[in-house]
Structure 1
Amino acid sequence: MRHGVDAGMFQQTAHSPSVFELHRRMGDRARQLIDFCIPCNPYFPTPEMFELLARNLESVLKFYPSDADTIAGQLARVLGLNPSTIAMSNGSTELITWMDHLWVRESIAIPIPTFGRWTDQPLETGKRVDMFPLRERDSFELNVEAYVNFIRARRSRVAVLCNPNNPDGGYLPHRQILHFMDSLADLDLVVIDESFIDFVEIERNPSVASEAAIRPNVVVLKSLGKNFGLHGIRFGYLVANPGLAAAMRKALPKWNLNSLAETIVFMLAEHGDEYHESLRLLARDRYTMGRQLAQLPELTVYSSQANFLLVRLAPDLDGTDLRDHLLSRHQILIRECGNKLGMSKQFLRLVVRPQQDVIRLIEGIRDYTRARWQQAADPPSKPVALRSIS
């Protein structure tokens, strides 16, 4: 235990502990917790939407939801997609699991670092995972041609590409993703994980979902929880041609979505303006937060089009120690990336949050560096060995 933090919370899994787990372990200290760890939209749903949910909570929790096809049909109407091209799930990780079982037979190619389930899931089921390393010297930018050549050299049968990528937030333009899909039209499956695509601002209509729906071997993955700031509901969906989408719907349980998910999906049609405003505010905060963090000499900040920023600590700083310091002294939770394939504990992923939270984060980082400097300036003296005098 360091800084009064139980390190076991962060060693049980490749992912960070839940806020619920932190509250149980930290007690009253967790009441002021600021979460810079879990990628979430802080501006959506609006307080008015939460108030409406609270008023209807009893009926939402008491009654069965509709079947998945009914909920997916409403989502398709909101998004302007053909219902036959959609399959909804209890979180995007459920879809990753079923894609592995249904369509990954031999091998899968994945750039690293990226979202951990893309490597963990096929490894757990004994598949060969061909990992294409993204280099720090290239700011973790993915070279599409090099990745395609790697896939060909390894003879991978399935390929994954996250856009924007997690944890660096790197984004590839629409035209490059189309080229990637068309270059691999002979593979068993090509997956474009667009879990964070709604946060992209440098290109209009960045998603390739509509193009995936007319290709024989492409699936686009979406995560509603990240976009809508509702991780606790656990809902996501995929877009693919009707044959692939139907195969996924057939594999999933008929009632795999809960009543809260259904309520939110049916609310979306009336709150589109509020959602788009939340994306505008988050893009503003991303720019401001990145600029402020870059002014700290201890940090290198990477460009991002997601709702988080990847930063690298100076060589003399320890990411695990900083994480524990921020949690115990400042009630701030961050994502230290030492357990991500292709990264080290010198890297942190920091979720974009409103200005008042960023100020508190910066104060916490400065407090940590001051403590390190003080420790270096005044190292603890070694105990003096006393000899007994007879």
Structure 2
Amino acid sequence: MDDPRQQPSVETAPVKIRPEIASAAAYRQGRPAPAGGFKLSSNEVPFPPLPSVVAAIEGAAESINRYPDSSAADLVRRLAALNHVADDQIAVGPGSISVLRQLITAVAVPGDEIVYAWRSFEGYPAVVTLNGATSVQVPLTDDGRHDLDAMLDAITERTRAVLLCSPNNPTGTTLTHDDVERFVASAPRDVLIVVDEAYTEFVRAEDAVNGLAIIADHRNVVTLRTLSKAYGLAGLRVGYVVGDPVVIAAVRASGLPFELTTATIEAAKAALDAREELDERLDILVSRRNQIEAGLIDQGWHVHESQGNFVWLPTGDQTERAAEILERHGIIARVFPEGIRVTVGERQSIEPLLSATAEIVRGLEN
């Protein structure tokens, strides 16, 4: 089972290493599935790359003796058009987590604080630590949602950014647009508010937050997005942020040159051009998500309605046993202290998944 609770051993270093780095747990990638099993631990889409994306990568291979366009200008233009903003409101990077690191680098120095809900995306603590800032983690509510009132109370004079994850990874719950509007209106105007919408393409809730609508009226708000999930480019890494031009200029200045390869840029452009084909795949995954959730509810699970490409199993102190049962059924999922996140994957994975969850829930009832 994949367990982010495991800590690496710390050996005596031959050079002086920052204590917070030496003691930090490295990100643990989801393990491959056993033969005949299903890897549902990394929120990847199960479909192969579109032929047009593969062709774009093959075409880019002919020029890899040259450096890529460091500004990724063509890609930025396409993303700006997609999001109905100006080019200077977009910054790109190798995955949304890298863009987030640039954001934090731009606003925080050692001793500053970054507020975010917990449990949320595993990458948040790492990004904060790498920048020398301090994490302020605000517990989720009992139904797996951000406690926005408590997050407001956690803001101090040392706070430089607040991270809002919607849908929240790993619980799948969304923030409503009205609630985020009220939060932003109540927060200090000089604190950066990041609306992390990595799974926005899977959202079907009509009242869910739309970060693009909020940034139009609030210069201190940005929305963070990725092409790794819905667009199926997890193996190439490309993410982006939309925000005020002054903030975006600082993000660009916080990055390194040539972070996106030529192949990544061309594949991203091809994926954006194939949005209609990708929408068909999204509809399939949302349908599978709904099928899984309906099956879980019929089994007696009390699950949060997920708006991501994953579901959350609140297994509590039975988590290790539950993970063992899943693995016995060929399901490799993401294990946390509070529960298990299961990616919506291949159609063939649904039956063994629901067989495993039926066995798990019987144990939880005893």
Change (3 A) 1:325 1:50: farther
Aligned length: 346
Q: Residues of 1 paired with 2:158 and 2:68: CA distance? A: 44
Q: Residues of 1 paired with 2:154 and 2:219: CA distance? A: 22
Q: Residues of 1 paired with 2:311 and 2:46: CA distance? A: 15
Q: Residues of 1 paired with 2:88 and 2:292: CA distance? A: 41
Q: Are 2:335 and 1:336 equivalent residues in the alignment?
A: yes
Which digits, 9 at most, give the CA deviation of each residue in 1:114-162, with x for residues without a partner?
Answer: 11222232234442322211132xx12224334323436x863421111
Aligned twin of 1:267? 270
Structure 1 unmatched runs, 5+: 23-28, 339-343, 377-390
Aligned twin of 2:323? 323
Whichever of the two has the greater Rg, that structure is: 1
Task: Choose the corresponding residue for 2:353, options 339, 357, 361.
Answer: 361
Q: CA deviation at 1:44?
A: 7.0
TM-score (norm 1): 0.77
Q: CA deviation at 1:349?
A: 0.6
Q: Secondary structure at the match of 1:301?
A: coil
Task: Choose the corresponding residue for 2:88, options 68, 84, 89.
Answer: 84
Q: Is 1:214–1:240's contact at 8 Å kept on the other side of the alignment? A: no
Aligned twin of 2:19? none
Task: Choose the corresponding residue for 2:68, options 62, 65, 68.
Answer: 65
Q: Are 2:115 and 1:109 equivalent residues in the alignment?
A: yes
Change (3 A) 1:18 1:172: closer
Using the TM superposition, name which of 238-247 and 274-283 deviates more. Answer: 274-283
Aligned twin of 2:341? 349
Which digits, 9 at most, give the CA deviation of each residue in 1:181-206, with x for residues without a partner?
Answer: 22224233111111112211122884
Q: Residues of 1 paired with 2:251 and 2:34: CA distance? A: 40
Q: Residues of 2 paired with 1:237 and 1:283: CA distance? A: 23
Q: Secondary structure at the match of 1:303?
A: coil
Q: Secondary structure at the match of 1:265?
A: helix
Q: CA deviation at 1:59?
A: 2.9
Q: Are 2:43 and 1:39 equivalent residues in the alignment?
A: yes
Q: Residues of 2 paired with 1:326 and 1:204: CA distance? A: 33
Task: Choose the corresponding residue for 1:243, options 246, 253, 259.
Answer: 246
Q: Residues of 1 paired with 2:38 and 2:84: CA distance? A: 36
Q: CA RMSD in A?
A: 3.2
Using the TM superposition, name which of 242-251 and 50-59 deviates more. Answer: 50-59
Instruction: Map residues 179-258 of structure 1 onto 2, 5 A cutoff.
Output: 179-203=182-206, 206-212=209-215, 215-258=218-261
Task: Choose the corresponding residue for 1:177, options 172, 176, 180.
Answer: 180
Q: Residues of 1 paired with 2:116 and 2:4: CA distance? A: 29
Using the TM superposition, name which of 93-102 and 49-58 deviates more. Answer: 49-58
Q: Residues of 2 paired with 1:39 and 1:221: CA distance? A: 17
Q: Residues of 1 paired with 2:43 and 2:65: CA distance? A: 30
Q: CA deviation at 1:69?
A: 3.6
Aligned twin of 1:120? 126
Instruction: Map residues 121-136 of structure 1 onto 2, 5 A cutoff.
Output: 121-136=127-142
Q: CA deviation at 1:95?
A: 1.8
Q: Secondary structure at the match of 2:92?
A: strand
Letter in 1 for 2:29: P
Q: CA deviation at 1:207?
A: 2.2
Which digits, 9 at most, give the CA deviation of each residue in 1:263-286, with x for residues without a partner?
Answer: 222213431211222222222111
Q: Are 2:170 and 1:167 equivalent residues in the alignment?
A: yes
Q: Residues of 2 paired with 1:56 and 1:33: CA distance? A: 34
Structure 2 unmatched runs, 5+: 9-24
Q: When you count helix as a share of all residues, which structure comes out higher?
A: 1
TM-score (norm 2): 0.82
Which digits, 9 at most, give the CA deviation of each residue in 1:329-365, with x for residues without a partner?
Answer: 4442101112xxxxx3xx1111122432111222345
Task: Choose the corresponding residue for 1:301, options 300, 303, 316.
Answer: 303
